[in-house]
């Protein structure tokens, strides 16, 4: 067992982990942050995406020990300080970008990473970026609309082009 | 101006807030104090005889609580099938045993041989590796044709052969043969409806708990229908009476049919929790899901369409082989029969329709209902053969369909169902308008200028939803009723909890159902909450599948709310010193008709619970009502779909350039959610048509057992928003349920696969590849390229 310390959603946390403990296990089982989900075992579905030092990471593919000393952000840390939905979360609700909600945390975390690097993505860029996030419910249409809206673009105008 | 509340409005979904903030409560988020973990040792062979399972070394491994094998389940019931099919000779279908853990033989890759319960999952997995298996591998039967050959290896030694049933339905042979004999033209098509895996993003999970104090079992499970699981597992497998068994399905991360069924892992965790006197948890990995979740589709069909000299449809005859897999999953037997054969008339007034289905056992994972369940298979055959006929006859595929539409309702088909209402011309015309069919020639020209082939595919569909009238399905072999139930509990201060038997796993019931009750009572939706997914909180319910939630459970909720209104009017009449027949309820106020005397909703509800001034001699205090609703008929959503594809003649790659759906769902309570359901269904249909395929090799090894091998649709496989419209403005309300709703959950997955394939064939013909009459799904680049190049 190794002791790891990291900042998760702005709070310093530490815990004992084994060498093979995945970051997702540390978050879900160790910290009870169950918003991060596990939808596959081959690092493809993206339900487990979190931010590590500002980068989108599939937490099922990173050891907890590798995140020692890092700044980690999960879906539980995404809302505004007053608890209201942030602009991306709000856009997902406004545009019906989620149904069962299982892929949603990963989608929101990926969307946030995309918009940090590319604040006004084209529709094709959004679709391309979501290659690593699978949703079975929505058919992606409303997820794409939500992300475009969260970037401040006029979705009906894009749809009319 | 669109409505901002009540029926027809699109309020934002209230469940979204918890899902968007990581506060959802999915089954894997549930941990019971002191729980152990189970790992299933699964067969890596498709077929074999178990000679010996030696668990002695494994039992001594660290953390092991107990190891179970099939021997521990002798005397325990097997997993039941919920629908008995009678074959054409009058015999009952063959119904092999389906033990919780393998007994004697393994019959598919993934069949659970042993279960290791340990303090941690890691210890359970490690110990499982120390179990010594002595299994003699047997030849596997994978191909349905070979499975039916005389002398084939048998999946079940105690059955005569691998034929589960040979079913015939619809018009008699004499009538059908005569129609074909008189035909001016017959079009024949052989096709495969590819095997799919439903793949809800949340893998299945089960947590069993047992209380010695009162001999009570609790199962937390990823289910679309917790009461059905309680019934099946309690009554048929473990012998636990309902009042000692609580089944909880909390937030469930998608279902698409595959979470309807009762699975071995649920029964195991419930059984083992008592046997180990410890809660037992199982969380499926995605790899396990591919080899233990029931698969979908997997039909091989020959369909024939007979037309007269004026291109009127005379007869349809089908011959289908349907794969059951190694065991009968819960509703497996009903999918290729009653959920498929009854839809073979489609939207057309064909006088003779005969359906023949052979269901076949193979050494593969059981196959059962997946989004649409039988209806996509029916639609795909019919709409593909009509397209082929139009091409052979040189007529416009839209005109050929239109000419044969059913236009008078109600309409009794030759395949036992009666369509109550519909307007197929309206959805066709809407599709043509939205698709800009007139502009296709110019778009094709533009594609050709880029060196691409462009095709237009159109088709119609009809489905039977709102499953189902209990007396009818009982006659057809269903071993359950298919009504639903709702309790409306009005609290003293006027807020309401509605306990519903439907289960929401993405459909948004928590938002939609209150819209209906609020509209009926004229109160704010925020005062109403929906309770679902827990047998200890809800009177009863058959769950959510077959696009039935609003049509069946919603109707029960309406009936219960009507009872509430009737009683509340009596209370209001007493308070207002008027006859209850003179009381009107509007905007949450009870008024004496023609006067300004009124009393508010909250005053009436308070009086019901604080009955100081109350007609106690006539009615009981309190305000809570339950209704069970059994539908009089199925509902029949229908529509017309179209898409345009570009095919790269160099590579065979297909890209969907434009897609339009024009659906008739009857009345719509929440347009936003309806459109979302159609988007999701179409994505799954596009997935089936272009990408997805569950593949086995000839030895029964599962080749597509992860997301590296099974191609799930991604965001860039779906048309861009400027060229994608889902429309539900054509509305012929259902005539027999109180809301006039038909159901929208499956339409997209039913309607869209033939649309895509029809478009691909059209594109190839435009490029001179006129020898290509069909390509089986998934229409992958290699298949398209091979078809174009005559390979």
CATH of the domain at A123: 1.10.150.120
For B715, which of A42, A45, A130 is closest by C-beta distance?
A: A130
> Which residues, numbered 33 to 52 in chain A, qualify as contacts with chain B under a Cβ-Cβ cut-off of 8 Å?
33-42, 44-45, 47
Say if the Cβ atoms of A101 and B506 lie within 8 Å: yes
Please indicate, yes or no, whether residues A101 and A133 belong to a single structural domain of this protein. yes
Q: Which of A24, A141, A156 to mutate to test the interface with B (most CBs of B within 10 A)?
A: A141
How much is the pLDDT for A57? Answer: 98
Question: Does residue B543 contact residue B228 with C-beta atoms inside 8 Å?
Answer: yes
3-class secondary structure, B643: strand
Angle at B111 between CA B110 and CA B113, to 5 degrees: 115
Kindly state whether A82 is in contact with chain B, defined as any CB-CB distance less than 8 angstroms.
no
> Which residues, numbered 119 to 138 in chain A, qualify as contacts with chain B under a Cβ-Cβ cut-off of 8 Å?
123-124, 126-128, 130-131, 133-138
In a domain, A161, yes or no: no
3-class secondary structure, B340: coil
ipTM reported for the complex surpasses 0.85: yes
In a domain, A120, yes or no: yes
Whether omega before B250 lies within 30 degrees of 0, making that bond cis, reads no
Q: How far is A68 from chain B (nearest CA, A)?
A: 23
Name chain B contacts of A89, Cβ cutoff 8 Å. 20-21
Q: Which residues pair with B193 in a beta bridge?
A: B299
What string of DSSP letters covers B679-724? HHHHHHHHIIIII----B-TT--BS--STTTS----GGGS--GGGE
Q: Which of B12, B17, B19 to mutate to test the interface with A (most CBs of A within 10 A)?
A: B19
CA-to-CA distance for B406 and B353, rounded, in angstroms? 14
Question: Does residue A92 contact residue A145 with C-beta atoms inside 8 Å?
Answer: no
In a domain, A160, yes or no: no
| DSSP element (H, E) containing B607 | helix B601-609
Q: How far is A33 from chain B (nearest CA, A)?
A: 8
Q: Which of A39, A85, A101 to mutate to test the interface with B (most CBs of B within 10 A)?
A: A101
pLDDT band at A160 (very low <50, low <70, confident <90, very high): confident
How much is the pLDDT for B1? Answer: 62
Q: How far is B180 from chain A (nearest CA, A)?
A: 42
Q: How far is B747 from chain A (nearest CA, A)?
A: 14
Please indicate, yes or no, whether residues A94 and A150 belong to a single structural domain of this protein. yes
Q: Which domain holds residue A131?
A: 87-154
Say if the Cβ atoms of B16 and A130 lie within 8 Å: no
Say if the Cβ atoms of B287 and A123 lie within 8 Å: no
User: For the residues B512-516, what does the mean pLDDT come to?
Assistant: 98
pLDDT score of B791 more than 80:
no
Which of B104, B91, B70 is CA-nearest to residue B161?
Answer: B91
Please indicate, yes or no, whether residues A146 and A91 belong to a single structural domain of this protein. yes
Count, in order, helices (H) and strands (E) of chain B: 19, 30
Say if the Cβ atoms of B706 and A94 lie within 8 Å: no
3-class secondary structure, B725: strand
In a domain, A82, yes or no: no
pLDDT band at B579 (very low <50, low <70, confident <90, very high): very high
CA-to-CA distance for B492 and A36, rounded, in angstroms? 39
Kindly state whether A103 is in contact with chain B, defined as any CB-CB distance less than 8 angstroms.
yes
**Which domains, and CATH codes, for chain B?**
16-22+483-629 (3.30.365.10), 31-138+201-254+259-292 (3.90.1170.50), 295-468+633-788 (3.30.365.10)
Question: Does residue B350 contact residue B465 with C-beta atoms inside 8 Å?
Answer: no
Q: How far is B55 from chain A (nearest CA, A)?
A: 27
Q: How far is A145 from chain B (nearest CA, A)?
A: 8
How much is the pLDDT for B2? Answer: 73
Q: Which residue of B has its CA nearest to A89?
A: B20
Which residues are CB-contacts of A112 (< 8 A; sequence separation ≥ 6)? A51, A56, A78, A88
A&B contacts, CB < 8 Å: 189
Say if the Cβ atoms of A41 and B285 lie within 8 Å: yes
Name chain A contacts of B684, Cβ cutoff 8 Å. 136, 139
What are the pLDDT digits (tens) for B611-654? 999 999 999 999 999 999 999 999 999 999 999 999 999 999 99
Say if the Cβ atoms of B680 and A94 lie within 8 Å: no
pLDDT score of B365 more than 70:
yes
Please indicate, yes or no, whether residues A129 and A69 belong to a single structural domain of this protein. no
For the CA atoms of B439, B445, B446, B452, the dihedral, rounded to the nearest 10 degrees, stands at 120
Q: Are strands B64-69 and B638-647 parallel, antiparallel or unpaired?
A: unpaired
| DSSP element (H, E) containing B461 | strand B453-462
For A136, which of B19, B201, B720 is closest by C-beta distance?
A: B201
CA-to-CA distance for B216 and B212, rounded, in angstroms? 7
Q: Which residue of A has its CA nearest to B682?
A: A139
CA-to-CA distance for A68 and A12, rounded, in angstroms? 11
Q: Which of B15, B21, B678, B718 to mutate to test the interface with A (most CBs of A within 10 A)?
A: B21
Phi, psi of B396 (to 5 degrees): -70, 125
For residue B172, the number of C-alpha atoms closer than 13 Å in the C-beta half-sphere is: 2
For B672, which of A96, A101, A102 is closest by C-beta distance?
A: A96
Q: Which residue of B has its CA nearest to A143?
A: B715
Q: How far is B21 from chain A (nearest CA, A)?
A: 5
3-class secondary structure, A89: helix
- Other C-beta atoms closer than 10 Å to the C-beta of B579 total 12
In a domain, A60, yes or no: yes
Question: Does residue B362 contact residue B299 with C-beta atoms inside 8 Å?
Answer: no
What are the pLDDT digits (tens) for A22-75? 999 999 999 999 999 999 999 999 999 999 999 999 999 999 999 999 999 999
For A98, which of B19, B682, B724 is closest by C-beta distance?
A: B19
Name chain B contacts of A157, Cβ cutoff 8 Å. none
Question: Does residue B494 contact residue A89 with C-beta atoms inside 8 Å?
Answer: no
Q: Which of B201, B220, B290, B671 to mutate to test the interface with A (most CBs of A within 10 A)?
A: B201
How much is the pLDDT for B790? Answer: 87
How much is the pLDDT for B484? Answer: 97
- Other C-beta atoms closer than 10 Å to the C-beta of B592 total 18
Kindly state whether A102 is in contact with chain B, defined as any CB-CB distance less than 8 angstroms.
yes
Please indicate, yes or no, whether residues A139 and A104 belong to a single structural domain of this protein. yes
What are the pLDDT digits (tens) for B146-198? 999 999 999 999 999 999 999 999 999 999 999 999 999 999 999 999 999 99
CA-to-CA distance for B536 and B51, rounded, in angstroms? 43
- Other C-beta atoms closer than 10 Å to the C-beta of B118 total 24
- The tally of domains found in chain A comes to 2
User: For the residues B420-424, what does the mean pLDDT come to?
Assistant: 98
CA-to-CA distance for A28 and A21, rounded, in angstroms? 11
For residue B676, the number of C-alpha atoms closer than 13 Å in the C-beta half-sphere is: 28
- Other C-beta atoms closer than 10 Å to the C-beta of B60 total 10
Question: Does residue B688 contact residue B778 with C-beta atoms inside 8 Å?
Answer: yes
Which of A71, A68, A75 is CA-nearest to residue A89?
Answer: A75
Q: How far is A44 from chain B (nearest CA, A)?
A: 7
DSSP state of B258: T
Say if the Cβ atoms of B714 and A140 lie within 8 Å: yes
pLDDT score of B333 more than 80:
yes
Say if the Cβ atoms of A38 and B28 lie within 8 Å: yes
Domain boundary pick from A77, A98, A126? A77
What pTM did the predictor assign? 0.97
In a domain, A132, yes or no: yes
For the CA atoms of B111, B114, B116, B121, the dihedral, rounded to the nearest 10 degrees, stands at -20
How much is the pLDDT for B4? Answer: 86
CA-to-CA distance for B42 and B379, rounded, in angstroms? 36
Please indicate, yes or no, whether residues A103 and A61 belong to a single structural domain of this protein. no
CA-to-CA distance for B530 and B509, rounded, in angstroms? 8
Q: Where are the alpha helices (H) located in B371-508, listed in sequence order?
A: 375-393, 397-404, 424-435, 440-449, 470-475
Please indicate, yes or no, whether residues A147 and A91 belong to a single structural domain of this protein. yes
For the CA atoms of B701, B707, B710, B713, the dihedral, rounded to the nearest 10 degrees, stands at 170
Q: How far is A99 from chain B (nearest CA, A)?
A: 4
Please indicate, yes or no, whether residues A42 and A92 belong to a single structural domain of this protein. no
Say if the Cβ atoms of A136 and B724 lie within 8 Å: no
**Cα end-to-end span (Å), chain A:** 57
Angle at B569 between CA B566 and CA B570, to 5 degrees: 90
**Could you tell me the CA-to-CA distances from B151 to B146, B154, B161, B323, B614 in Å, in that order?**
10, 8, 8, 19, 78
CA-to-CA distance for B738 and B517, rounded, in angstroms? 13
pLDDT band at A161 (very low <50, low <70, confident <90, very high): confident
Please indicate, yes or no, whether residues A95 and A145 belong to a single structural domain of this protein. yes
3-class secondary structure, B221: strand
In a domain, A95, yes or no: yes
Say if the Cβ atoms of B253 and A96 lie within 8 Å: no
Which of B500, B461, B485, B543 is CA-nearest to residue B257?
Answer: B543
Say if the Cβ atoms of B286 and A40 lie within 8 Å: yes
Q: How far is B95 from chain A (nearest CA, A)?
A: 33
| DSSP element (H, E) containing B36 | strand B36-42
Q: Which residues pair with A3 in a beta bridge?
A: A16
Phi, psi of B61 (to 5 degrees): -75, 155
Which of B86, B74, B59, B109 is CA-nearest to residue B166?
Answer: B86
Say if the Cβ atoms of A36 and B22 lie within 8 Å: yes
Domain boundary pick from A43, A77, A111? A77
In a domain, A13, yes or no: yes
Please indicate, yes or no, whether residues A64 and A110 belong to a single structural domain of this protein. no
Q: Which of B715, B717, B748 to mutate to test the interface with A (most CBs of A within 10 A)?
A: B715
For B20, which of A93, A137, A142 is closest by C-beta distance?
A: A93
Say if the Cβ atoms of B683 and A123 lie within 8 Å: no
Please indicate, yes or no, whether residues A10 and A70 belong to a single structural domain of this protein. yes
- Residue A9 sits in a domain whose CATH number is 3.10.20.30
Mean pLDDT rounded to a whole number for chain B: 97
CA-to-CA distance for B28 and B408, rounded, in angstroms? 51
Question: Does residue B58 contact residue B113 with C-beta atoms inside 8 Å?
Answer: no
Please indicate, yes or no, whether residues A15 and A36 belong to a single structural domain of this protein. yes
- Other C-beta atoms closer than 10 Å to the C-beta of B563 total 15
Name chain B contacts of A75, Cβ cutoff 8 Å. 20-22
| DSSP element (H, E) containing B625 | strand B624-629
Say if the Cβ atoms of A139 and B679 lie within 8 Å: yes
Q: Which of A98, A139, A153 to mutate to test the interface with B (most CBs of B within 10 A)?
A: A139
Q: Which one has a higher pLDDT value, B673 or A157? A: B673
Domain boundary pick from A29, A48, A77? A77
How much is the pLDDT for B735? Answer: 97
For B21, which of A75, A103, A131 is closest by C-beta distance?
A: A75
Q: Are strands B313-325 and B352-361 parallel, antiparallel or unpaired?
A: parallel
């Amino acid at each position: 067992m190794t002791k790891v310390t990291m900042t998760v959603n702005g709070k310093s946390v530490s815990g004992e982990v084994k060498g093979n403990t995945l970051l997702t296990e540390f978050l879900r089982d160790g910290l009870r942050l169950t918003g991060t989900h596990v939808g596959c075992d081959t690092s493809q579905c993206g339900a487990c995406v979190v931010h590590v030092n500002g980068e989108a990471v599939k937490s099922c593919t990173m050891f907890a020990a590798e995140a020692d000393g890092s700044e980690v952000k999960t879906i539980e840390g995404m809302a505004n300080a007053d608890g209201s939905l942030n602009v991306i979360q709000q856009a997902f609700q406004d545009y019906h970008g989620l149904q069962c909600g299982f892929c949603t945390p990963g989608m929101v975390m990926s969307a946030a990473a995309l918009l940090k690097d590319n604040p006004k993505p084209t529709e094709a860029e959004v679709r391309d970026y979501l290659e690593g996030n699978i949703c079975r419910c929505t058919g992606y249409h409303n997820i794409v609309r939500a992300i475009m809206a969260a970037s401040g673009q006029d979705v009906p105008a894009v749809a009319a082009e | 101006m669109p409505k901002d509340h009540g029926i027809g409005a699109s309020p934002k979904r209230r469940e979204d807030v918890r899902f968007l903030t990581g506060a959802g409560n999915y089954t894997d988020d549930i941990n019971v104090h002191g729980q152990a973990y189970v790992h299933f040792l699964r067969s890596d062979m498709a077929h074999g005889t178990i000679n010996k399972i030696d668990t002695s070394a494994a039992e001594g491994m660290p953390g092991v609580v107990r190891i179970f094998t099939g021997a521990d389940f002798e005397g325990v019931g097997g997993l039941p099938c919920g629908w008995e099919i009678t074959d054409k000779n009058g015999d009952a279908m063959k119904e092999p045993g389906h033990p919780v853990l393998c007994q004697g033989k393994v019959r598919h890759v993934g069949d659970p041989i042993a279960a290791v319960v340990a303090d941690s999952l890691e210890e359970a997995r490690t110990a499982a590796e120390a179990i010594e298996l002595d299994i003699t591998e047997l030849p596997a039967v994978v191909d349905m044709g070979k499975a039916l050959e005389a002398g084939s290896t048998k999946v079940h030694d105690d059955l005569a052969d691998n034929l589960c049933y040979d079913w015939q339905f619809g018009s008699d042979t004499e009538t059908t043969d005569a129609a074909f004999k008189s035909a001016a033209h017959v079009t024949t098509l052989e096709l495969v409806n590819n095997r799919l895996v439903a793949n809800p993003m949340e893998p299945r999970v089960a947590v069993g708990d047992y209380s010695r104090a009162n001999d009570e079992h609790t199962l937390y499970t990823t289910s679309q229908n917790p009461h059905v699981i309680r019934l099946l597992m309690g009554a048929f497998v473990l012998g636990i009476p309902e009042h000692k068994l609580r089944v909880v399905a909390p937030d469930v991360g998608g279902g698409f049919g595959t979470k309807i069924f009762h699975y071995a892992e649920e029964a195991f965790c419930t059984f083992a929790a008592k046997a180990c006197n410890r809660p037992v948890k199982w969380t499926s990995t995605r790899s396990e899901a591919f080899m233990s979740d029931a698969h979908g589709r997997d039909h091989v069909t020959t369909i024939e369409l007979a037309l007269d000299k004026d291109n009127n449809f005379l007869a349809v005859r089908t011959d289908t082989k349907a794969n059951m897999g190694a065991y009968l999953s819960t509703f497996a037997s009903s999918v290729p029969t009653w959920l498929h054969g009854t839809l073979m008339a489609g939207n057309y007034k064909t006088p003779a329709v005969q359906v023949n289905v052979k269901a076949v056992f193979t050494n593969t994972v059981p196959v059962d209902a997946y989004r649409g369940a039988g209806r996509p298979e029916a639609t795909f055959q019919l709409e593909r053969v009509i397209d082929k006929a139009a091409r052979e006859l040189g007529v416009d595929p839209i005109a050929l369909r239109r000419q044969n539409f059913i236009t008078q309702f109600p309409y009794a088909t030759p395949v036992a169902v009666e369509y109550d209402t519909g307007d197929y011309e309206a959805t066709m015309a809407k599709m043509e308008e939205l698709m800009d069919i007139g502009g296709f020639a110019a778009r094709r020209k533009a594609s050709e200028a880029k060196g691409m082939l462009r095709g237009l595919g159109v088709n119609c569909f009809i489905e039977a939803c709102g499953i189902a009238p209990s007396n009818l399905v009982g006659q057809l072999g269903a071993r359950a009723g298919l009504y639903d139930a709702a309790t409306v509990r009005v609290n003293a201060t006027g807020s309401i909890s509605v306990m519903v038997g439907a289960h929401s796993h993405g459909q948004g019931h928590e938002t939609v159902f209150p819209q209906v009750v609020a509209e009926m009572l004229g109160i704010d939706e925020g005062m109403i909450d929906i309770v679902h997914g827990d047998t200890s909180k809800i009177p009863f319910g058959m769950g959510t599948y077959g696009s039935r939630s609003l049509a069946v459970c919603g109707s029960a909720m309406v009936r219960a709310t009507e009872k509430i209104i009737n009683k509340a009017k009596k209370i209001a009449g007493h308070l207002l010193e008027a006859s209850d027949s003179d009381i009107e309820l509007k905007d949450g106020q009870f008024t004496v008709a023609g006067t300004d005397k009124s009393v508010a909703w909250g005053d009436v509800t308070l009086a019901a619970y604080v009955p100081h001034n109350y007609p106690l001699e006539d009615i009981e205090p309190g305000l809570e009502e339950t209704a069970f609703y059994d539908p009089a008929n199925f509902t029949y959503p229908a529509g017309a779909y179209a898409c345009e594809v570009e095919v790269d003649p160099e590579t065979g790659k297909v890209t969907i350039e434009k897609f339009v759906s024009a659906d008739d769902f009857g009345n719509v309570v929440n347009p936003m959610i309806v459109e979302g359901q159609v988007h999701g269904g179409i994505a799954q249909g596009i997935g089936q048509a272009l990408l997805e395929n569950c593949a086995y090799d000839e030895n029964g090894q599962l080749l597509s057992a992860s997301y590296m091998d099974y191609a799930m649709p991604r965001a860039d496989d779906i048309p861009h928003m400027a060229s994608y419209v889902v429309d539900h403005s054509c509305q012929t309300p259902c005539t027999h349920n109180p809301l006039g709703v038909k159901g929208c959950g499956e339409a997209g997955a039913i309607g869209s696969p033939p649309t895509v394939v029809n478009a691909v064939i059209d594109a190839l013909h435009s490029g001179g590849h006129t020898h290509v009459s069909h390509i089986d799904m998934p229409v992958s680049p290699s298949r398209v390229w091979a078809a174009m190049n005559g390979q």
